[in-house]
Amino acid sequence: MGNYNWAEQFREVYQRGVETYNGGRTNAAGFFTPRDNEFLGSIGCSEQELFDFIEDHCRVDEPSFEQVLLVTAARRDYFLFVQNGKPSSHRIDMDRLQPKSAELGGIPWLPRIIEKAQAKLRGEMPPALMYGCGGDRPFLREHNIPLADFLRVVWELDGDQKRILQYVRKESGAS
């Protein structure tokens, strides 16, 4: 497992996952081989996170592999350069997550997806939660923001809700 070709290795794991899912195995537990899980761990990706992307892709044809790769690259960069390759032992509490109806600047869902993006970057997503889920994708599509771009903006702005709101409004054409 090398750093130089991590994206190619990731594509191989992803493609095997799609084949496995389409072959009828639709449970995350034990979905990937131990070697695949070792590789995923080395880039800060959990088995559950990749499984969720594969499951949605197989069921509703999104997100695309390219979107998944870009999200994973953002998480990988954060994992390697901010967390120094050390996973967080914390998981966010779903009961404390902003409700889907919560608004920021009159925009529903925005507070929730900011929290999810922060948890995704830190590798603190509980298994029952997904960044880039069937609620996140339509929200971001409506605001003309790719999944990975939002993740990187939340990172760059250090979760500053006021500046993230400005970014979302600008990308939406509603500045």
pTM of the model: 0.95
CA distance 164 to 114: 8
Beta-bridge partners for 107 = 104
C-alpha closest to that of 6 among 77, 84, 58: 77
Q: What is the pLDDT along the chain (175 residues), one digit of tens a residue?
A: 567 899 999 999 999 999 999 999 999 988 999 999 999 999 999 999 999 999 999 999 999 999 999 999 999 999 999 999 999 999 999 999 999 999 999 999 999 999 999 999 999 999 999 999 999 999 999 999 999 999 999 999 999 999 999 999 999 987 5
Where are the chain's structural domains?
1-87, 88-175
DSSP 8-state code for residue 91: -
